[in-house]
Structure 1
Amino acid sequence: MAQSSQVLNCTDIDDILEKYYLSPFYAFEFCVGFPGNLFVILGYIFCLPEWQSCNIYLFNLALSDLVFLCTLPHLSYLYAHDQSGISPFACIVNRYILHVNLYSSILFMVWLSMDRYLLIKHPMKNHCLLKRRAALIITGLSWVAVNVEVTPMIRLMIQDLQNGNMTRCKDFASLNGDINVFGYSLGLTLTGYLLPLLGLCVFSHQIAHLLHVQERALQRRTSSYKRPLRVAVSAAVMFLVLYSPFHVLRNVRIGSRQPWAGLKLCTRMYIESLYIFSRPLAFLHSVINPVFYFLMGDKFRDLMLSRLRKLFRRKELQQEPA
């Protein structure tokens, strides 16, 4: 009887976390992140007269985050209702967009760091990769690469939905199909996360090295150029802190379900619980990213602040008595 009660309790953990942790956390991320990303996108469309390579990367990053955030209300509802009562099409689209955003965000942040490094090295913007056409090509290839990475997940989701009579919309780590889920997850971790993270670290190191050389040559601190270094390092730290637990626990979760793992049911449930904790934390990047738009887009920030000042002054003038 005691053993049966223990099994019952440990199998209930994931349901409790999904309903009382995932659901409200996703709702919170939507409420905070959606206005910030929408504000940035509208600002780029209506306030930025001339687009540079940096602005193209930032706009695509904001667009990716905004589309992803639009899926969170649906996911919040889904987990509040035991992952049931959802159309298969909506399930596949939501999961697909989620993972496309997951890997496109860090990739666009790599290109932003590269852009800042090249701008410091070539202040006159005479490097070919600092041109708008190059940024558009890189952006297009990035979208293609991320979609190619995530496309096999569609087949997995369709097979899993068919096996479950189209009733439960499961997370990637809980899918079953004829694709090796563990191998596929390791491949996504390597190509979608570890390689871009390495790129962020390399560009951060190169920016630091370049600034150090400039300081020695000029014998003074170039404080105005230190901001790109702080931004690149902050981006690398953000993705390291938010993405690492998610990817490690996702692979451990998938590995724990394999026959060769030989783990007990409760052990697998505890691993899944830790993985559930890591998921909304990984998606916090969509809430934090708008900060980088203001730190990296100099003209955009100045234009937006100027527009806001004019708006507030206009309101103050309207409120003054005649």
Structure 2
Amino acid sequence: MDMDSEGLANFSSLQNQTTSFRSCLYESLSFEKVYLPIMYSIIFLVCFPGNIIVIFVYIFKMRPWKSSIIIMLNLAITDLLYVSCLPFLIHYSINDHWVFGGFMCTFIRFTFYFNTYSSILFLTCFSLFRFFVVVYPISCFSIQKRRWAIIASASVWVVSLFMVSPMIHFITVKESGNRSLCLDLTNSEDLDSIRLFNWLLTTFAFFLPLILVTLCYAVIIYKLARGPHTHTSFKQKARTLAIVLLAVFYLSFLPFHIFRGIRIELKIHPVSCTIEKQIRDVFTVTKSLASLNTFGNLILYVVLGDNFQHAILSICKLNIKMTKK
């Protein structure tokens, strides 16, 4: 009898924790309804036309393609795919009601994660190519051939799809009263599965590339600093490229992965509503920071080389001539 009473008490306690967590969840939505639409709108207004211009320049103005251009073109395509989905998220953030159906919920949420990890892998590939070109320019000369960039880019598409594919099982549309909610990984109720999947994804799809990219640019900067015959402008460009790319990893992706892990752990180990609300609000900010990687990528395209800047200037001059006519 005592055991039954104890079991009933534990069940009631667990039920109360779950109810408390859900109530905390909805108390924090007011911040999301203001912050996310503003951030997503800014990203869309800048990065949607920005990536269209980048893709146009790479395809029509920068031939013959180098290996770096092939990788960055693929990166721009994934960014454009993601920012094209932002109007749906803007509508959802404002109204807190998903009206686009289950397929679109899965597609939009999946696209965010696919863009995040394909961006990480494309930037890692780009960094590895730069590493071999700068540190081993003679012995690894063949790696500069376009076929290796094509193979690397195709591999990134396949690997990213494979890594993110389990996400489909965690993205659901849930009815809550008279509202439909489009829930992603951190709101899934399959706690053991999302916890394992999150740590695997974070370890192998983020922290491993982060270590590789950091080591690559540390060695590149060291190599250039010791090279007396390297032009100062080339060194400066390499430093700027390293700063921008590492900023994308450490300021855009790192906070998102840290607080996503914390959010999932708090579902397993509930805390007070105040702490839960603070963590959720910070996680909301880090989600927008992860989306801001598209900004960082636009900066990378400009920093990457003078040819891109010249191509943009030629397009501007052509437009000026057309308007004068």
Q: Could you tell me the TM-score, scaled by structure 1's length?
A: 0.86
Equivalent position to 2:173, from 161, 169, 190? 161
Q: Quote the sequence identity (%).
A: 27
Q: Which runs of 4+ in 1 moved over 6 A?
A: 6-9, 162-166
Contact (CA 8 Å) 2:99, 2:180: kept in 1 or not?
yes
Whether 2:156 is the aligned partner of 1:146: answer no
Q: CA RMSD in A?
A: 2.7
Is 295-304 or 89-98 further displaced after alignment?
295-304
Cross-structure match for 2:148 = 134
Amino acid in structure 2 at the alignment position of 1:161: V
Contact (CA 8 Å) 2:25, 2:277: kept in 1 or not?
yes
Distance 1:253 1:43, change over 3 A: same
Equivalent position to 1:66, from 55, 80, 92? 80
Whether 2:250 is the aligned partner of 1:233: answer no
Equivalent position to 2:53, from 21, 36, 39? 39
In the alignment, the residues of structure 2 paired with residue 8 and residue 65 of structure 1 have an alpha-carbon distance, to the nearest angstrom, of 33
Equivalent position to 2:67, from 43, 53, 58? 53
Contact (CA 8 Å) 1:203, 1:232: kept in 2 or not?
no
Amino acid in structure 2 at the alignment position of 1:96: F
In the alignment, the residues of structure 2 paired with residue 269 and residue 121 of structure 1 have an alpha-carbon distance, to the nearest angstrom, of 48
Is 131-140 or 165-174 further displaced after alignment?
165-174
Contact (CA 8 Å) 2:21, 2:270: kept in 1 or not?
no
Whether 2:216 is the aligned partner of 1:197: answer no
**Structure 1 residue 288 displacement after superposition:** 2.7
Cross-structure match for 1:87 = 101
Cross-structure match for 2:272 = 264
Map 1:207-222 → 2, pairs under 5 A: 207-215=220-228, 218=229, 222=232
Amino acid in structure 2 at the alignment position of 1:198: I
In the alignment, the residues of structure 1 paired with residue 32 and residue 105 of structure 2 have an alpha-carbon distance, to the nearest angstrom, of 16
In the alignment, the residues of structure 2 paired with residue 129 and residue 280 of structure 1 have an alpha-carbon distance, to the nearest angstrom, of 35
Cross-structure match for 1:3 = none
Deviations 1:53-103 (A, max 9, x none): 010011011111110001110011011111432300000000111001011
**Structure 1 residue 315 displacement after superposition:** 4.2
**Structure 1 residue 171 displacement after superposition:** 3.0
- Equivalences, count: 305
Distance 1:304 1:221, change over 3 A: closer
Amino acid in structure 1 at the alignment position of 2:292: L
Cross-structure match for 2:255 = 245
Distance 1:200 1:11, change over 3 A: closer
Amino acid in structure 2 at the alignment position of 1:99: Y
Q: Could you tell me the TM-score, scaled by structure 2's length?
A: 0.85
**Structure 1 residue 137 displacement after superposition:** 0.5
In the alignment, the residues of structure 1 paired with residue 130 and residue 182 of structure 2 have an alpha-carbon distance, to the nearest angstrom, of 41
Q: Which runs of 5+ in 2 are unaligned?
A: 1-19
Contact (CA 8 Å) 1:211, 1:226: kept in 2 or not?
no
Q: Which runs of 5+ in 1 are unaligned?
A: 1-5
Map 1:265-280 → 2, pairs under 5 A: 265-280=273-288
Distance 1:253 1:228, change over 3 A: same
Determine helix, strand or coil for the equivalent of 1:169. strand
Amino acid in structure 2 at the alignment position of 1:57: I
Distance 1:54 1:12, change over 3 A: same
Whether 2:112 is the aligned partner of 1:112: answer no
**Structure 1 residue 148 displacement after superposition:** 1.1
**Structure 1 residue 29 displacement after superposition:** 1.0
Contact (CA 8 Å) 1:156, 1:179: kept in 2 or not?
no
Contact (CA 8 Å) 1:201, 1:233: kept in 2 or not?
no
